[in-house]
Amino acid sequence: MSDISPAALRGAVDLSSLRNRPQPPASGEAPAAPGGGAVSDVVLDVTDASFGEVLELSRTVPVVVDLWAEWCGPCKQLSPIIEKVTREQQGRVVLAKVDVDANPQIAQAFRAQSIPMVIALIAGQPVPMFTGAVPEEQVREVFARLLEVAAQNGVTGSVTPGEGGTAEPQEAPLPPLHAEAYQAIEDGDYARAIAAYEKALAENPRDEDAKAGLGQVRLLHRVQGLDLQKTREAAAAAPRDVQAQLAVADLDLAGGHVEDAFARLLDLFAELPAGERTPVRERLVEMFDLVGSADPRVTAARTRLASLLF
């Protein structure tokens, strides 16, 4: 959303259980200072135990909380964009990254129904930003609005990495086609990103990074421009329309509703005659690869698909 308001979630989210929680001392790393000043980095990995420091820090500088998980494909598209835009703010914004699988209390406190979910904290109050993957242009617009709202509420401080912080690791340069795909994604040109990843796979069929990136960007391309309400209404009106059901399943997966996406397509697969099942089976297999074979939801869905096939 782009018109954020600090009162939007006030009273709807109770963060009191995460305040002043005891936490082990961090060795060799400067913690986020409650009053601003020095922090280990403007991008912090935050846990259930350390979240109280983030709440206090938000009284000085707006904090963006990124709720993500390793299995979440859209998170892998959105999180790097949020980190990039955060660093460009030069200390006027801090990013708190939260792995929801490892830190369920934070996810419960924010009532996270799907991920990626991004919330800001201004003076300890939650402010909604995004649910689901969004393009970089929209991220920048919402960050600008966030700084405006923070200033309206007297939160205008900044932070700098302290001496305890570690230098940013130097990443190996991306292969040219991967770099082209990333740039295309940042530009919102998903068709060009798909073409770059497909070319990378044609050159090296074992390129797992290209395979994963291709699945993620294909999903983003399919959901780009879809109206959620209209898409769901169309699917409800035509329960056996394959394309209508595939569109809703894509939106569910992009929004982090993995089980809903799988269940919809498996139910559809069960109802269709054998000659009409192929597109549904292919989309399910693509989604399995996107979520990851180790995910228990994929295991359960694969088992049901096998039982329907044989």
Catalytic site positions: 72, 75
- H-assigned helices in the chain: 51-57, 73-88, 104-109, 136-152, 176-186, 190-203, 208-223, 228-237, 242-254, 258-271, 278-291, 296-309
Task: Read off the tokens for 310.
Answer: 């044989």
Between CA 66 and CA 211 the distance in angstroms is 25
Quote the longest CA-to-CA distance of the chain: 65
Between CA 51 and CA 36 the distance in angstroms is 15
Closest of 193, 211, 237 to residue 293, by C-alpha = 211
Helix (H, G, I), strand (E, B) or coil at 189: coil
Contact yes or no for 119/146 (Cβ under 8 A): no
Between CA 156 and CA 140 the distance in angstroms is 18
Between CA 59 and CA 37 the distance in angstroms is 12
Contact yes or no for 162/38 (Cβ under 8 A): yes
Contact yes or no for 79/17 (Cβ under 8 A): no
Helix (H, G, I), strand (E, B) or coil at 241: coil
